[in-house]
Amino acid sequence: MGIYGALSTAVTGLRAQSFALENVSGNIANSQTTGFKRIDTDFVDLIPDAATKRQTAGSVLAQSRSTNNVQGDVKGTSTETNMAINGNGFFVVEPAIGQSDGASVFAGANYYTRRGDFELDKSGYLVNGAGYFLKGLPIDPSTQNVSGSVPQVLQISNAFLPAQQTTRVNYEINLPQLPKTPAYNQSQASGSELIDARDFVSLTPDTPALKIGAAATGTDATSTIASPGDSLRVRFGPAGGPYTTDRTYAFNTGGSTTMPDIDISDAGTDTVAELLAVIEADLVANGATGATVAINGDGEITITAGNDSDNVNITDQTTGSGANGFGLADGDTPPTVSDPAALAARVGTISADHVDDFFAQSISGGAITVYAGNGAPANVQMRWAKVNSNENGGAERSNMFVLTNANATGTGTAWTKMGGDYQFGNDGSPNPTVEYTDLPNLTVNGVAVGNVRLQHGQNGLTQFADPNGVAEVTTLSQNGYAAGEYVSVAVNDAGRVVVSYNNGQQLEVAQVVTANFNAVNQLKRMDGGVFAATSESGEPILDNGGGIIGSSLEASNTDISEEFTKLIVTQQAYAAGTRIVSTADQMLQDALNMIR
């Protein structure tokens, strides 16, 4: 190759080191560029074709080597729309090709970048510092699932978030086996923890009837109705309790009427109307206040309690066999004392004038705000009343009440029972199992919420012993909300774009996707820190679950100290190359001087 060959080789070396210096310069210049990937230099030797014994070192060629697979440091920022990728992959972006009526126009091309300094522009697009628009996949607002598979330019709307009606309330609670209500009396054997139906419901009074004798028909008030030797026993008492009035009337003809002996031959008692009057007066005088004694259209004597909470019992004690003897009406039997649990089960509503008694006989079950379809809020308050227990001779049963009208007055309904009876077994679990309770057409304080389901789950409703005697709410949440005004947008660590509203709701509207390549260092570098796919890099492999870090940026992967080291090496190599040129020049001069 000779001196000219050496000179030529030295020049290629100088050219290669100049190329390396250019890369070092560019790396240092972009050491603070977000998401920048440095360019390293590879040197390739060019060996001329020659015999083995005549081979030389040859010239050198410099070429670029990408570091797209080398991640830069990730640092946090205060901008919630900034993001970084932890690991492999690139953001999918697209440049705008122009504007139409002030709106950006796109051609559908995909580019790829690690530069994640995205911020909202005036039109709601997420644009990074180099002017590229972020692309992703939209999210279905109703299911919150990703819809579609082709990335599109993301545009965030600042419109109001429509209200969502509450349709489900997750409600899990443990009711104490012994609710210690204000009315609970520890010294009482049992029953003080139960709701007393007589304080809240207008019970239909027991009105038993006895057939009058054959001498009276229909509403006949003049015929005699009893024979000597007949008797009638009348008992009064509170529902669920013992009888407090017990009078037995004996009918005879032996003289004047001395209660409870009644002379039916007396002018004052020998007609139906007269007899009923003296019995009624005697009952009232002996504690059955307000009782009435009458005869109905079927020819039956009826005795009615004077209030809505007493029981009355009539017993036929006929001893004679006269045609006018008393007899039970067909199909009737004397009523018994009512079951207190059965009475409590009839408590469907609590009027406003009985609220104090209700609070004294029930325990709080929590409260939650729900929303109607137009976003109107309604505060749903729940209370639980125990209606029966094993110690009281029945099953463990409770009722739930909801405050449906806090503004009710007088006899207006304030609280309404929901869900029927809840019965529990000895192990504290519902028997039968109750996984949910439907509240159809729920209306609270005039707000028509609609159909709401209280979701208890398989084990969310229990009755375990609690020393404090209070209900323990473990889960209470709902799926509705009022209309909301746009506040801000952010990107979370799952790569989802989240819009926040002033009603406290956060709605995921888009999924940021990342693109991976089999030969990532074969991407073509373009302005603005973006890359284009090439035939050598392969097609992008899209992923919507890859390593997004919100409120963060990836720094340049340039290491200044390493670049300075390269700079020194490049400078020395270049200087050595110039010495080769100088030496070759001197040798040529010496060769030329040989002919002088």
Show the tokens assigned to 321: 């066999």
Show the tokens assigned to 378: 């309604």
User: What is the Cα–Cα distance from 44 to 502, expressed in whole angstroms?
Assistant: 62
CB 190 within 8 A of CB 389: yes
More confident residue, 240 or 142: 142
CB 125 within 8 A of CB 153: yes
CATH T-level assignment (fold) for domain 168-198+341-478: Tick-borne Encephalitis virus Glycoprotein; domain 1 (2.60.98)
Show the tokens assigned to 350: 């609590």
Peptide bond into 432 cis (omega under 30): yes
How does residue 227 score in pLDDT terms, banded at 50, 70 and 90? low
Closest CA to 271 of 210, 327, 213, 329: 213
CB 182 within 8 A of CB 359: yes
pLDDT at 107 over 50: yes
User: What average pLDDT does this structure show over 141-163?
Assistant: 90
If you search the block for the tokens 């901008």, which residue do you land on? 79
Task: Give whichever of 196-200, 324-328, 401-405 has the largest mean pLDDT.
Answer: 401-405
How does residue 201 score in pLDDT terms, banded at 50, 70 and 90? low
Give me the pLDDT at residue 202, please.
59
**Distance separating the N- and C-terminal Cα atoms of the chain:** 25
CB 117 within 8 A of CB 129: yes
R_g over Cα of the chain: 48
Give me the pLDDT at residue 233, please.
77
Alpha-carbon torsion, ordered 217, 221, 226, 227, to 10 deg: -90
User: What is the Cα–Cα distance from 368 to 592, expressed in whole angstroms?
Assistant: 104
pLDDT in tens, 376-416: 999 999 999 998 888 877 789 999 999 999 999 999 999 99
Angle between helical axes of 2-29 and 560-593 (0-180°, round to 10)? 160
pLDDT at 302 over 80: no
Closest CA to 70 of 554, 540, 543, 538: 554
User: What is the Cα–Cα distance from 48 to 351, expressed in whole angstroms?
Assistant: 107
User: What is the Cα–Cα distance from 552 to 361, expressed in whole angstroms?
Assistant: 57
Distance of CA 352 to the CA centre of its chain: 32
User: What is the Cα–Cα distance from 189 to 511, expressed in whole angstroms?
Assistant: 64
The residue type of 160 is F
The residue type of 374 is N
Q: What are phi and psi of 120, to 5 degrees?
A: -75, 135
pLDDT in tens, 453-490: 999 998 899 999 999 999 999 999 999 999 999 999 99
CB 3 within 8 A of CB 584: yes
Show the tokens assigned to 544: 């919507």
User: What is the Cα–Cα distance from 568 to 376, expressed in whole angstroms?
Assistant: 72
% pLDDT > 70, the chain = 85
Give me the pLDDT at residue 254, please.
74
Show the tokens assigned to 354: 């009985």
pLDDT at 47 over 80: no
Please state, in angstroms and as integers, the Cα–Cα distance from residue 354 to each residue in 44, 117, 350, 358, following that order. Answer: 97, 64, 6, 6
Closest CA to 531 of 517, 542, 512: 517
How does residue 215 score in pLDDT terms, banded at 50, 70 and 90? very low
pLDDT in tens, 553-596: 999 999 999 999 999 999 998 898 888 888 888 888 888 888 76
Closest CA to 525 of 101, 63, 126, 68: 68
pLDDT at 346 over 80: no
If you search the block for the tokens 């530069």, which residue do you land on? 115
The pTM of this model reads 0.64
Beta strands in 258-395 (DSSP E): 261-263, 292-295, 300-304, 310-316, 327-328, 349-351, 363-371, 377-388
pLDDT in tens, 433-455: 999 999 999 999 999 999 999 99
Q: Within the chain, which residue ranges are assigned CATH 2.60.98.20? A: 168-198+341-478
User: What average pLDDT does this structure show over 16-31?
Assistant: 92
DSSP string, 274-296: HHHHHHHHHHHHTT-TT-EEEE-
More confident residue, 247 or 34: 34
